[in-house]
A and B are shown apart, each in its own frame.
Chain A
Amino acid sequence: MTNETFAGYSNLALYSAMAVFLVAMICNAVYLAGLVPSRDRRRDAGAERELVAAGSAGGTGSAPAAAGARTAARADDGPDVDVPAKARKAAGIASTMTWLGALLLVVSVALRGLSVDRWPLGNMFEFAVMASMFTSLAYCVWSTRRDLRWLGLFITGPLLLVLGMAVTVWYTQAAELLPSLKSYWLVIHVTVAVIAMAIFTLGAVASVLYLVKDAFQRSGRASILDRFPSAESMERTSYGLHIVAFPLWTFTLIAGAIWARQAWASYWNWDPKEVWTFVIWVVYAAYLHSRATSGISRQVANWIALAGYVCLILNFTVVNVFFVGQHSYSGL
């Protein structure tokens, strides 16, 4: 059944993607380094910014609030007036490389699917590769709508880490599925889970950066994060990602229950994997709740979101491998 040639090319595409992501990561780092103003530039930075703000507001923005808005907007989508050309170039290369890496992962996943003649989501290796594929794709697509260059390093870095784990620790030879995994619900349930996980990943990265920036701002220390979008804007980006991922995760939970009834007779068995999926859902529900609860700060809300993400990661790593349940499909 398995076609070794396809499997070989699939791995080749995977290794190429990793090389390309490595380049993207370096370029992203160069971009961020370029954002740090050199010493003499920093001295003028305040004055310069005032000028830019007034200039871009075009005289209409007489109110200070409006000028402030322009300044903040610049980091989001405005012109890169004070980003050095070298940094801008590096960010451009990083963006192209991330797209290329994402497409190579698509090729790798497709070839893997062809080689095993089924949906390539049957074990942890395939899960990790597809999760990376969707994460990079989601990042690329999202970055066509917003300036997400500030996120680049923090996406490509973890991607490389996960793919590295996939090819070393989780690697599983191409093969058919266990009977309990032969179901179109596998395709539906696990694919949506992977997409949700990818978007939660972006959300978690945004939350971490928000919390770090917020902490720096409170302590009043200057840092490169000053060149990132405003803390509020980062927090909203994170929320925007979470409210996309949460319904997807809700669907994952429902589809999993439907599949569980087909495969194990009962739609809910408190199997460890089910418990964790449920807990993740509850924690993210708590995050959305906390954001709407008066008296709960945005920082606390984002910590709850990160707790949800930790559960997500544990669910994939520890629970898959070490907990005894009916979901023992890690292939290890």
Chain B
Amino acid sequence: MAEQTTTRPQAPTPEPGGKGSGPREPITQPKLGLVGWLRWMWRNLTSMRTALFLLLLLGIAALPGSYFPQRGIDAARTAQWIADHPTAGPFLDRLGFFEVYATPWFSAIYLLLFISLVGCVVPRTKVHWKAMRSTPPRTPARLSRLEHHASAEVDATPEQVVQVAREALRRRRFRVHSHDDVTVSAENGYVKETGNLVFHFALILVIVGVAIGYLFGWKGDVIVPVGKTMSNQLSQYDTFSPGPWVNPEKLAPFTIKVDRFDATFEENVTGRGQFGQPRNFTAYVTTKDAPGAAPKDSTIQVNHPLEMDGAGVFLLGNGYAPVVTVRDAKGNETFSGPVPFLAQDNNYRSVGAIKVTGADPKPLGFSGLFLPTAVVNKDQGPISIFPDLKNPALALTLYEGELFPGGRPQSVYLLDTAQMTQVTSKNDKTGQTEPLRIWLEPGQTFDLPGGRGSITFDRVDRFAGLSVRHDPGRWLTLVAALLALAGLIVTLTVRRRRVFVRVSPAGDAGRTVVTVGGLTKGDDDGLGRVVERALTDITSALPGTPDTSTETSTSTDRDPRP
């Protein structure tokens, strides 16, 4: 560790207070061409100070993304935020505050950090490789100068003592070498640097794993009402985001049918923030690896994804899909089936739209709310007061006209009313014309005015919101992260220490003074103990009781008090 390459920016740095910022000392750097510049920049980039600066910068740069809504996570909330802040919103948007983790500035920081990391770790690996095969350095002339040293006089010849010292240190797992007849140099704890290098290399591997996941991974979200089947095809997904190197036409051909969906909510505990909390969601499904394959029964729960061929299937959402039937004036069905409504709050007040393109005479669009436990509140209008189906109701308004103006893509939960007109009715009490309000409970039918037929609320089904995700890089990332952790623990617990032994003849013939000194880098509370232990090892291994006129000095602290 002592000759550790803490690559520091060296020449050619400008003098403090000097003009300009470029290197301009002709003596230290005779021809500073492009190469010299590049080398200078490279040295600075790979210095520990730069790494430290970039680390702190990375931390700071990551923060705004936790405060501002992020488009990739919640596009609707982002759009809302920008709309709510007409001055700051667009400005921050241009700076990338709503896509922090994909902005050039964020990418630049971590890319520079990782270039710096490579540029730092590769030379250090070379140095460490050499250090591991080289012999420990010569013993300093005066061991008593070292911070930790101890000596004793023993009843043995210098040769014997050296021999014993070598064995004793080897037994303590030191690498041992004698540069001459009267000294022993020993070193251990090389694995500290190994651990450090493993840690830093593993960080690079983590990033490689993330990159593989980004390039070859994909993610699709789909809503599947109970009784329906989804197959793993691009066309089936409500949203699908593939990585740049994914062929979305070649997905594994599995299918998943949702047979049943169970949901339970807290009804017994009424403390703050507990009543009505979800307690369990389970989707019971039948899967097939390919359309013709044998069906298998499985369940998907929150925290318990279903692993299909190359993709995990996750239960990330759920809600209600009221089953409605729309008939025309003659009683022919123009629409029938479950319509997913999207929950807006914890009590599943849900919005949705029923789009009846085949209605007669004009296409009809119902828009409104589904309420699992409906009450009409004086201030808020129709709301739900519990997430489970205690008193379900549909509250709808009706539009007619062009449902898909211009064939533009639109949300399944909302009507695009640009080319539609709202159907109105006369209020019996006030006699005024107002928008038609439809209130339906399961089993009820509402006759639409003006010969437009009727709508029936048959029953309520639930739907499962499934997210299907393929990430081929995640195993690499996981293994690399665990490797980094292991390297970290090793580098933080192991100490790299040098122990030196020097022998010299004592005043009495046949006796020898043995001095042990220790050296380490940085703080090491245990070095004194190591030195003393080494001396004890040596003295106790020698024949006869040694003279224990031990003088030890293990000064670790200098008292700052006057």
Contacts and interface: CB of A to CB of B under 8 A. Distances in A.
Interface in B4-22: 6, 8
A232 B524 CA distance: 12
Contact of B560 (A231, A250, A265, A325): A231
Interface stretch (B229-237, B419-427, B477-485): B477-485
Contact of B278 (A178, A263, A323): A178
Nearest to A176: B279
B317 to A, nearest CB: 11
B243 interface: no
B481 A254 contact: yes
Interface stretch (B62-70, B128-136, B326-334, B369-377): B62-70
A56 interface: no
Given A282-B58, A286-B56, A294-B8, A46 B274 contact: no
B303 interface: yes
A183 B556 CA distance: 48
B558 interface: yes
Interface residues of A, number: 79
Contacts of A292: 6, 48, 522
Contacts of B48: 289, 292-294
Contact of B485 (A182, A247, A271, A293): A247
A289 B51 contact: yes
B52 A293 contact: yes
Contact of A60 (B219, B266, B525, B551): B551
A282 B62 contact: yes
B520 to A, nearest CB: 13
Given A179-B302, A236-B525, A286-B56, A230 B273 contact: no
B557 A73 contact: yes
Interface residues of B, number: 72
A323 B555 contact: no
B202 to A, nearest CB: 11
A294 B555 CA distance: 23
B225 to A, nearest CB: 20
Given A179-B302, A270-B65, A295 B558 contact: no
Interface of chain B, main secondary structure = mixed
Contacts of B67: 272, 323
Nearest to A227: B561
Given A179-B303, A236-B525, A283-B59, A251 B558 contact: no
Interface stretch (B183-191, B245-253, B394-402, B467-475): B467-475
A47 interface: no
A331 interface: yes
A254 to B, nearest CB: 5
Contacts of B65: 270, 275
A1 B269 CA distance: 10
A182 B281 CA distance: 11
Nearest to A272: B66
A282 B344 CA distance: 36
B523 interface: yes
A217 interface: yes
Contacts of A49: 561
A319 B66 contact: yes
A21 interface: no
A143 interface: no
Nearest to A323: B66
Interface stretch (A23-31, A64-72, A127-135, A147-155): A64-72
Contacts of A282: 55-56, 58-59, 62
A247 B195 CA distance: 13
The 4 closest A-B pairs by CB, nearest first: A173-B271, A272-B66, A72-B557, A275-B66
6 contacts: A178-B278, A257-B478, A262-B305, A265-B219, A294-B48, A323-B66
